[in-house]
Structure 1
Amino acid sequence: MKTSNPVLSRLGQAAERERAAGYGPAGQPAYGQQPGYGQPAYGQPAYGEPYPTATGYPASPPAVQPMTIDDVVVKTVTVLGITGISAAAAWALIPDALVGPAWIGAALVGLVLGLVISFSRMANPALVVTYAVIEGVFVGMISKFFETLYSGIVVQAVIATFGVFFLMAILYRARVIRATKKFTRIMIAVMGGLFAVMLINLVLALFGVNTGLRDSGPLGIIFSLVCIVVASLSFILNFNEIEEGVRMGLPQRYSWTAAFGILVGLIWLYIEVLRLLSFLQGDD
């Protein structure tokens, strides 16, 4: 099972290690073997033979349930619900005087957690849930800030965000946009470049240097539009990873990793839409 997607390659390697001992659904051959071919793994019974037990009665090997689309949908709805509840709680409970510190603190902690999850070789549901809680605080604080300046902007941004998400899902389902090798390479390079630009811009801002990328001027609007387009297209990569992950038979818990990818894209898209709407509304 080979794929050009580096994320799927990493997850596939982790899944292969988990199944290396031949743990698979009862009555099925060891991972990577075909019925009637090859030799059984060391210490494992041959294909079709029962596993011995201490009582002498045969037993099926431990089953590793494969990931399904339904698993990803359930996990995605779960993390979105956790993020929404966390955002609402932060909005209601954190005083206005602490909005700034809470916003910055949650952003930094979320960034670290996001990198840990992204580069981890194992799916970790606890980390994904923790990330959803932290990002909920971040989303709640930034939403509260913009809502105090522009009434109704949060509802507009939420509708626009999910509208774009479902549009991209339809386009992917209809194969209007496909995650080809070239598309994947370009997207990874562009997202890496945007991340580097935003990080450099943040560091310069801390030293009092204003590049104009996050202002309401023409440069800021163009940069936000670019980020919105790239964030929207990133869902194509997510959908492809999910589809390929199901085809490869990744273990069920990797649906948490898929849900994490969608959550990251939705939050990024929401923040950029929120920022662009604030630019277009101006100071009125």
Structure 2
Amino acid sequence: MQSNNPVFTRSEGFNGRGNASVGSPSTWSTGLGQGSGPGGYGSYDQGGLGGGYAPAPQLDQGRMTIDSVVQKTGLSLGVVVLVAAATWVLTGDLGNASTAQGTLGTLYALSLVGSLGGFVLAMVNSFKKVISPALVLAYAAMQGLFVGAFSKVVEATFVGPGQSGLVLQAVAGTFMAVVGTLAAYKFFDIRVTPKFRIFVTAAMIGFVAVSLFSFVLSFFGAGLGVNGFGTVGMVFAALGVVLGVFMLIMDFDFVERGIEAGLPDRESWRAAFGLTVTIVWIYVQLLRLLAILRGND
């Protein structure tokens, strides 16, 4: 059953097409198929490219496990948090009237650089057949730049004196969304069907396309309001959170498949990248939603 998520599509094991381990031939089946080797996927080739040979040194690299995925996802998210915190601290005080305008301009520029840089690196990582840890961490750094600048602007704009911080609420909400989704996935034994994948992927592509179209229109003095902080923006932010949770379910499913396929440990970086993309997405959409609700009070 093949993935529709470009983050995982390029990896054989995440889609049940390859086997990461090189061991003694055996034939047994999982829920995904039958064949030679663990999990019934056949031999895993050099870099997962389908080259037709399986070098013995792959044995020394170990296999992807839940622990390795958690460790590398934690490292990737740690880079996001560190860069976001540095961006927040080093860009000055928005409470100072004499420098606030310049600081806002800097924050807008940094958020644009971070979002565009993150988008480019996301595309590179998504379609790269052999995952690069350096590029995954570079993506995390760009996202940290965007998250830090965007969060500071939102906090300064929507949080008044004596009110609690939106950023902390968004962080807590994102954490609860991830933990709650994981718990539901495991305890309720959620199965990801092909129809579910197609629906979520199509919805996400449509969401991004509409957002980009509205962004382009904004340069001509128009716009659909989907990226803003009005009623339309609130609807799209809520939809974005729901889509993010659905993508998280798909990510958990792909990680589970990769582990069952016996992928090499380096593929933990691909899993970490996919989870980082989704978690940052949920945080940004949730922060927008909270800001809009705060503004409507």
TM range (shorter): 0.7 to 0.9
One-letter identity of the residue aligned with 1:90: T
Following the alignment from structure 2 to structure 1, what is the Cα–Cα distance between the partners of residues 17 and 131?
A: 13
The answer to whether the 8 A contact 1:117-1:128 is kept is: yes
Q: Corresponding residue for 1:129? A: 137
Could you state the TM-score of these two structures normalised by the residue count of structure 2? 0.78
Aligned length: 254
Following the alignment from structure 1 to structure 2, what is the Cα–Cα distance between the partners of residues 188 and 202?
A: 21
1:266-281 alignment, distance < 5 Å: 266-281=279-294
Following the alignment from structure 1 to structure 2, what is the Cα–Cα distance between the partners of residues 248 and 211?
A: 44
1:171-186 alignment, distance < 5 Å: 171-175=184-188, 177-186=190-199
Q: Corresponding residue for 2:77? A: 80
The answer to whether the 8 A contact 1:178-1:236 is kept is: no
Structural RMSD (CA)? 2.7
Q: Corresponding residue for 2:48? A: none
2:256 aligned with 1:262: no
Q: Which sections of structure 2, spanning at least 5 residues, go unmatched?
A: 28-34, 39-54, 93-102, 160-164
One-letter identity of the residue aligned with 2:78: G
Following the alignment from structure 1 to structure 2, what is the Cα–Cα distance between the partners of residues 221 and 129?
A: 31
Q: 1:4 aligns with which of 2, 10, 28?
A: 2
- Structure number, greater radius of gyration: 1
| Helix, strand or coil at the partner of 2:245 | helix
- More divergent stretch after superposition (171-180 vs 110-119): 171-180
Cα gap change, 1:189/1:94 in structure 2, threshold over 3 Å: closer, same or farther? same
The answer to whether the 8 A contact 1:24-1:30 is kept is: no
The answer to whether the 8 A contact 1:12-1:248 is kept is: no
Alpha-carbon offset, residue 102 of structure 1 = 0.8
Following the alignment from structure 2 to structure 1, what is the Cα–Cα distance between the partners of residues 26 and 131?
A: 22
Alpha-carbon offset, residue 150 of structure 1 = 3.0
2:140 aligned with 1:120: no
- More divergent stretch after superposition (156-165 vs 174-183): 174-183
Cα gap change, 1:248/1:18 in structure 2, threshold over 3 Å: closer, same or farther? closer
Q: Corresponding residue for 1:40? A: none
Could you state the TM-score of these two structures normalised by the residue count of structure 1? 0.81
The answer to whether the 8 A contact 2:13-2:258 is kept is: no
The answer to whether the 8 A contact 2:82-2:144 is kept is: yes
Following the alignment from structure 2 to structure 1, what is the Cα–Cα distance between the partners of residues 226 and 90?
A: 32
